[in-house]
Each structure stands twice: as C-alpha cells, then as structure tokens.
C-alpha cells in the first residue's frame, strides 16, 4: 500500500542579471529527497520581476532567441510606462513576468520529474541587476 507524503524546500537562486538560469538539478534533488514515486511537483517564484519556464536545455541559442524575443516584446524605455520607480527595466520586467509564468506543475513518475529529453527548468530573471530569487518547490504524492 502506498502512503501520501508532502515535502517542501525553499531555494535561493542567485542571478547575475537578465537571462534564463537553469536550476533543474535543484528540483530533481528536491523530488529525490521527498521519496515521492508518483505525484506532482509545483515550483513557484515569489517575485513580480522574474518568472519560471520549462525550455530547451541543450542549445543555448534557443534560450538567447527567447530572451531576445521577450526584450523586443516588452522593451525598456517605452515613454508610456508609468511604473519606473526602480529604473528603465522596472516595468518591462513586470510585463515579461506576466507574459510568462510564476509557477510550474511537473508530474513525477517513478520518483523522477517527467520532463522530456531536452526540457530543463529555468528561472527567468527580467531585471538587469543580479538578485537572490526565492523559489518554493512543493512535492506531493505517493511513496
């Protein structure tokens, strides 16, 4: 008989500025530590100027193309922005976060994240300056 369990871990991800930061290994380690064999892993970033995504992990050009696209979509210095208290990257970072995601739900199968071959989990920093970002990983399922 399987029993239900939950496990939660807070990660601090240091960023060096704008871009996608791979932390797939940290999420894998959290799932392994939970003992969950079948379940769901929720990943949540508690910031309004950073986001999460599952993307191509093998070719860095895929990430650069995505980053470039989002910069074109929400450029810095738009004179229509009112929220600029923290500089020209302030409002674009909020728009970029709103267009992406602050949480992910990843199935767990046989004790591992059920990611595809090339899929990795990224924190997407939208601010120019580096920061320490808080990410909560919550695992629930059967052992």
pLDDT digits (tens, 9 = 90+) for 84-139: 989 999 999 999 999 999 999 999 999 999 999 999 999 999 999 989 999 999 99
Torsion of CA 8, 19, 105, 101, to 10 degrees: 110
- Does residue 90 fall inside a structural domain? yes
Whether 95 is covered by a domain: the verdict is yes
pLDDT (0 to 100) of residue 2? 80
Q: Is residue 101 part of a domain?
A: yes
**Treating both helix axes as pointing N-terminal to C-terminal, what angle do 60-73 and 90-99 enclose, rounded to 10 degrees?**
120
Number of folded domains that form the chain: 1
| 128 is a domain residue | yes
Is residue 7 very low, low, confident or very high in pLDDT (cuts 50, 70, 90)?
very high
* Domain membership flag for residue 7: no
Is 83 among the domain residues? yes
Residue 130, in any domain of the structure? yes
CATH code for position 77:
2.60.120.460
Where in the sequence is the domain holding 104, given as residue range(s)? 17-142
H/E run at residue 101: none
What is the model's pLDDT at position 27?
98
pTM summary value = 0.94
Inside any domain, residue 67: yes
């Amino acid at each position: 008989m399987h029993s239900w369990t939950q496990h939660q871990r807070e990660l601090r991800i240091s960023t060096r500025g704008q871009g996608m930061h791979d932390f797939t290994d940290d999420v894998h380690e959290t799932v392994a530590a939970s003992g969950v064999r079948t379940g769901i892993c929720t990943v949540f970033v508690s910031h309004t100027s950073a986001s999460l995504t599952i993307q191509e992990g093998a070719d860095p050009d895929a990430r650069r193309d995505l980053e470039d696209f989002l910069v074109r979509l929400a450029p810095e210095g738009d004179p229509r922005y009112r929220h600029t208290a923290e500089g020209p990257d302030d409002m674009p970072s909020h728009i970029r976060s709103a267009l992406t995601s602050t949480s992910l739900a990843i199935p767990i199968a046989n004790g591992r994240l059920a990611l595809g071959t090339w899929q990795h989990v990224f924190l997407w920093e939208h601010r120019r300056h580096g920061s320490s970002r808080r990410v909560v990983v919550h695992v629930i399922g059967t052992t």
